[in-house]
Amino acid sequence: MRVILIHGFNASPEMNFHPWLKESLVDLGFEVISPDLPLSSKEEINLPDVIEKIKDKVGYLKNDDIILGHSLGAFIALQYLEAVEMTETPRAVILVAAPWKVAKQELRRLFIADLDADVLMWKAREYVIIHSKDDVLVPFEHGKKLAGRLKARLVETESDGHYMDAKYPILLDTIKQISKTPFEFEPGMSLVDDFKELEM
């Protein structure tokens, strides 16, 4: 099973929780892909180039892949899912401290094209939003709004801020839980069956 880690703005695979999470996952037998992406205030962000860099590292997505994006990287993960051609559906997408929109002028243009939640819901078997109630960089309301739009499971934490420290067991535990849980949802399963009461 592969885990694809997408870092945030002004970050890298060597920052925040990424090194610890990668090492922990590799120790458990996961394959981990963590591309170094041009998401810096030192250069203009070119979204198509960022998407291509992820494609180059990941190749075709597989049905047991888990994608985890942190902060702006969560938004990039969604853009990647919308843009990429698929032959299989990833097992899960985990969005950590994900923004619904941003205030920074240099990032605001990335959010001009609205993501299509109706399309994205079919691009992964499960969405999980992990957000801390004390996040001052991306307020908790962003996570709640994303969870609602994506019909995602919302994991609330109390004091993890913007997840910029070196270690967060909730991230590892969530990935382990997903990897061990068989996926039993069928397309349309949550829709009301208008014909259930009819005699056949």
What integer pLDDT is reported at residue 66 of this predicted model?
A: 97
What integer pLDDT is reported at residue 5 of this predicted model?
A: 98
Q: What is the DSSP string of 120-133?
A: HTTSSS-EEEEEET
Residues of the chain with pLDDT under 50: 112-113, 187-191, 200
Q: Give the DSSP letter of residue 109.
A: G
pTM of the model: 0.85
CA 128 centroid distance within chain? 8
Summarised one tens digit per residue, pLDDT across range 145-174 is 999 988 999 999 999 999 999 999 999 999
- Alpha-carbon span 125 to 63, nearest angstrom: 9
What integer pLDDT is reported at residue 112 of this predicted model?
A: 41
Phi/psi of residue 155, each to 5°? -105, 110
* SS3 of the chain: helix, strand, coil, percent, to 5: 35, 15, 50
Q: How many CA atoms lie within 13 Å of 2's alpha carbon, on the beta-carbon side?
A: 16
What integer pLDDT is reported at residue 40 of this predicted model?
A: 82
Q: What is the fold of 2-180?
A: Rossmann fold (3.40.50)
